Structure 1
Amino acid sequence: MNKLILLSIMAILSIGTVNAQQTNSSKVLRHVVLFKFKDNTTPAEIKKVTDAFEKLPTQISQIKAFEWGVNNSPEKINEGLTHCFFVTFSSEKDRDDYLVHPAHKAFVDILKPFLDKPVVVDYWTN
């Protein structure tokens, strides 16, 4: 094979490798948390929980991004789950550090008396 053609093929393959690495490094780990509160939970108690959850990004450096909202789907198939929280991490280690962080544990203590059902799903973005 011609040396120039071989070098060209190698260059093309290396560009593909760089692009694949860039794509993989742009992926983030999403920690999705859904809550169903106990029926007797007041709006003030729910606000106490959401306020405490909103503070975590200022207390835990491993959190890359955070957002949340209240279900408003017209499909009515949410099984009582009303609140959705997305916590974004750069790595599984960051997520694992978050889970045992004292600020997260303190948040869980605030949440527990009002929580009926939690659902948690973690995934790497595509």
Structure 2
Amino acid sequence: MKSIHPLIALALMILLAPSVRGDEASAPFRHFVSFQFKDGTSDEKKEELVKAFLQLKNEIDVVVDLEWGTTDNIEPLNDGFTHSFLVSFKDKVVSFKDKASLATYLPHPAHEAFVAKLKPHLEKVYVFDYTAGK
């Protein structure tokens, strides 16, 4: 039997979880990212990259929350992905809240600088974007 990719399962759990957000206009837009580092990437380099990613919350105003963690799987289903981040957005322009925030975040110079630091150490990346409760 073919199994569901673990990151898809995680994303579905987040997406289908009961919402406590209130009305649709207040629902945050989220950007889930998981990294698989290249073999040989040191723990020190990974720590440096995590700190750089977390700094984006202070540099990009549409980011309202950023949490992260490393795999703590009991089952070996993480497919080599070890570090995951959940970025929550809330734009001040309500009519464009979802895509406008991501459209501000992705080309932002701070995000592009982080991606340039990350790329030489990255084997694979998984991204899943969604509006909470939708």
Flag as ranges the 4+ runs of structure 1 deviating above 6 A.
Answer: none
The Cα shift of 1:82 comes to 0.5
Q: Give a deviation string over 1:40-62, Cα, whole Å, max 9, x none.
A: 10001101110100100000001
Q: Percent identity?
A: 39
Aligned partner of 2:118 among 104, 111, 119? 111
Richer in helix (by share)? 1
Corresponding letter in the other structure for 1:23:
D
Distance in 2 (alpha carbons) for counterparts of 1:40 and 1:118: 17
Residue number among 90, 104, 127 corresponding to 1:97 in the alignment = 104
Alignment of 1:1-126 (within 5 A): 23-90=23-90, 91=97, 92-126=99-133
Residues in 1 aligned to 2:46 and 2:64: alpha-carbon distance in whole angstroms: 24
Cα distance in 2, alignment partners of residues 70 and 25 from structure 1: 31
Relative to the length of structure 1, the TM-score reads: 0.81
Count of paired positions = 105
**Take 1:39 and 1:75, find their aligned partners in 2: how far apart are those partners?**
21
Matched residue type, 1:67: E
Structure 1, unaligned runs of 5 or more: 1-21
TM-score by length of 2: 0.76
Per the TM alignment, residue 113 of structure 1 is displaced from its structure 2 partner at its CA by: 0.8
| 1:25-83 superposed Cα distances (whole Å, 9 cap, x missing partner) | 22111100000000110001101110100100000001011100001010110100001
Give the aligned residue type for 1:87.
Answer: V
3-state SS, counterpart of residue 64 of structure 1: strand
Identify the residue that residue 93 of structure 2 maps to in structure 1: none
Identify unmatched segments of 5+ residues in structure 2: 1-21, 91-96
- Measured against aligned partners, the alpha-carbon deviations of 1:87-114 in whole angstroms (never above 9, x if no partner) come to 0012220111100000000000110110
Aligned counterparts of 1:116 and 1:109: Cα–Cα separation in 2: 14
| Counterpart-to-counterpart distance in 1, 2:78 and 2:36 | 9
